[in-house]
């Protein structure tokens, strides 16, 4: 997420406020009064900061947090009568620059984050001798079963690949329709058939 957000506002004017200077807590505030407070356990891997994201329907709130040591995590809450209902905590996963979005009428939560960089010393070679990079993860949380399906994204560059240009930019979910899931990448949009394969490969022409 590009900027840390410590406050989200609802249509009725109520708010959720993240306070993390000492302990980590989320407070639901309505008409100037705190209706509920959730004390979030301090992560064992440390805490570098966090951010809030509200779902379009206002039913869910994501607390995204990171360790400052290339680790990302998130907790999901349902808001019921101005109260927090804790649903899920991913714990830390290796990666950076996580983004989140909802799909399929908020039945799925999608997480994206980077895990690798483009420099040739980080490249790997497959069984055919082709060079590839591990770009990141695209993960789907089913909001009925609360199972997290993790998918690795591999990129096979072209011969004229410009590492510095394509390493910087956005990686986030944009939409899912007609059996296809679309994400925004540093070089443009990519689509994957849904349900997703465990490993997602992007190949650029030689």
Q: What is the pLDDT of residues 4-21, one digit of tens each?
A: 889 999 999 999 999 999
**CA distances to 13, 22, 61, 111, 153 from 114, in Å:** 35, 28, 22, 11, 9
- What 3-state class would DSSP assign to 124? strand
DSSP state of 122: G
C-alpha 53 chain-centroid distance = 11
For the segment 56-73, what is each residue's pLDDT rounded down to a tens digit? 999 999 999 999 999 999
pLDDT-based confidence at residue 160 (cuts at 50, 70, 90): confident
| Whole-number pLDDT of residue 121 | 76
DSSP state of 166: H
Which is nearest to 78 in space by CA: 38, 115, 45? 38
pLDDT-based confidence at residue 164 (cuts at 50, 70, 90): low
């Amino acid at each position: 997420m590009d900027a840390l957000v410590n406050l989200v506002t609802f249509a009725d004017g109520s708010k959720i406020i993240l306070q993390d200077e000492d302990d980590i807590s989320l407070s639901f505030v309505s008409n100037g009064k705190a209706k509920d407070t959730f004390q979030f356990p301090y992560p064992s891997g440390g805490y570098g900061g966090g951010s809030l994201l509200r779902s379009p329907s206002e039913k869910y709130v994501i607390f995204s947090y990171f360790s400052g040591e290339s680790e990302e995590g998130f907790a999901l809450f349902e808001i019921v009568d101005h109260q927090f209902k804790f649903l899920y905590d991913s714990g830390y996963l290796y990666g950076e620059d996580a983004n989140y979005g909802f799909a399929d009428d908020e039945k799925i939560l999608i997480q994206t984050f980077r895990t690798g960089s483009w420099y040739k010393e980080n490249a790997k070679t497959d069984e055919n001798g082709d060079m590839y990079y591990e770009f990141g993860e695209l993960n789907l949380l089913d909001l009925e079963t609360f199972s997290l399906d993790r998918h690795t994204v591999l990129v096979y560059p072209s011969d004229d690949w410009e590492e510095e240009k394509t390493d910087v930019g956005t990686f986030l979910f944009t939409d899912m329709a007609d059996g296809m899931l679309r994400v925004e990448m540093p070089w443009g949009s990519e689509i994957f058939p849904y349900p997703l394969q465990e490993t997602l490969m992007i190949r650029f022409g030689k």
